[in-house]
């Protein structure tokens, strides 16, 4: 009755099922791994955002890249803004509008400084027109903000290019920006959330990062792939049972004329 399982058509089906099952297992494991990774990242970023601010020098130093584990950690730093070397970052939309981030070095003394992302301003009438940027406060200021690693093409998905208008960049890369400055930059930047004294006018603050659902979709996809394993096995068994039932029905029909003749 079950010899049909060794026919070429059924052997092909067996091979397909045997290949599909481990593939679904691996896909599910990969999604569960992504879930754990993103959940850990979400928890770490949330903890950093909610942690009390610490002095910048505890987490960053000139020539030393900011650690990924310290992303969005609140820091405080005092110094004097250097508007002569301010820059704006192109292609930074916010709330559905195209615009620029405003970067101004904050000189902290001893020949060192840190880039401060003071916030967002809307784009001008043309892509190459300089935006209107409120000036930074003069004199000594104390900045509180979220510590960020320097951007790269890989981390940001933004491709660097030359030929930009003066004073404009595409990436917040402390190493690249620091090459033209008379002081050494910290290997990252600070995303301003508060400063004292407060200026009369300032760029729009950068929103708090959205940490997402912590990989919830990856968990759902992982469960989905493993459910497909049950569907594949169940479908395979169902097809076998249907074939057996059809063959039994055909055998019974073939025997009916013999029974009637006897």
Q: Is the pLDDT of residue 31 over 80?
A: yes
Gap between the Cα atoms of 53 and 75, Å rounded: 5
Gap between the Cα atoms of 222 and 4, Å rounded: 35
Question: What integer pLDDT is reported at residue 148 of this predicted model?
Answer: 96
Between helix 216-261 and helix 8-50 the angle, nearest 10°, is 160
Instruction: Please identify which residue in the block is written with the tokens 């003069």.
Output: 138
Per residue in 166-178, pLDDT (tens digit) is: 899 999 999 999 9
Assess whether the previous peptide bond of 219 is cis (omega < 30° from 0).
no
Instruction: Please identify which residue in the block is written with the tokens 């759902």.
Output: 220
**Sequence-distant (≥ 6) Cβ neighbours of residue 36 within 8 angstroms:** 215
Gap between the Cα atoms of 147 and 136, Å rounded: 19
Gap between the Cα atoms of 91 and 150, Å rounded: 17
Q: Is 201 helix (H, G, I), strand (E, B) or coil?
A: coil
Confidence band of 156 (pLDDT split at 50, 70, 90): confident
Confidence band of 7 (pLDDT split at 50, 70, 90): confident
Gap between the Cα atoms of 184 and 15, Å rounded: 63
Confidence band of 217 (pLDDT split at 50, 70, 90): confident
Q: Is the pLDDT of residue 220 over 90?
A: no
Gap between the Cα atoms of 18 and 25, Å rounded: 11
Question: What integer pLDDT is reported at residue 244 of this predicted model?
Answer: 79
Q: What is the mean predicted confidence (pLDDT) over 16-30?
A: 87
Confidence band of 81 (pLDDT split at 50, 70, 90): very high
Instruction: For the chain, give the mean pLDDT.
Output: 87
């Amino acid at each position: 009755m079950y010899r049909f399982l060794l026919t070429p058509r059924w052997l092909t089906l067996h091979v397909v099922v045997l290949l599909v099952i481990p593939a679904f297992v691996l896909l599910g494991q990969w999604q569960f791994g992504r879930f754990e990774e993103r959940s850990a990242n979400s928890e770490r970023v949330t903890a950093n955002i909610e942690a009390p601010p610490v002095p910048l020098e505890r987490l960053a130093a000139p020539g030393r890249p900011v650690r990924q584990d310290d992303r969005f950690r609140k820091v405080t730093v005092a110094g004097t803004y250097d508007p002569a070397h301010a820059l704006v970052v192109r292609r930074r939309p916010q709330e559905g509008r195209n615009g620029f981030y405003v970067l101004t070095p904050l000189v902290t003394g001893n020949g060192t400084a840190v880039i401060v992302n003071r916030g967002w301003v809307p784009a001008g009438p043309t892509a190459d027109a300089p935006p209107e940027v409120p000036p930074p406060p003069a004199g000594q200021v104390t900045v509180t903000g979220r510590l960020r690693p320097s951007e790269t093409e890989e981390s940001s998905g933004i491709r660097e290019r030359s030929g930009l208008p003066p004073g404009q960049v595409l990436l917040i890369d402390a190493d690249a920006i620091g090459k033209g400055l008379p002081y050494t930059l910290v290997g990252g930047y600070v995303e301003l959330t508060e400063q004292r004294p407060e200026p009369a006018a300032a760029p729009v603050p950068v929103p708090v990062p959205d940490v997402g659902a912590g990989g919830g979709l990856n968990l759902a996809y992982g469960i989905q792939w493993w459910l497909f394993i049950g569907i594949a096995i169940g479908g395979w068994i169902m097809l076998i049972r249907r074939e057996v039932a059809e063959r039994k029905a055909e055998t019974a029909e073939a025997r009916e004329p013999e029974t009637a003749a006897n």
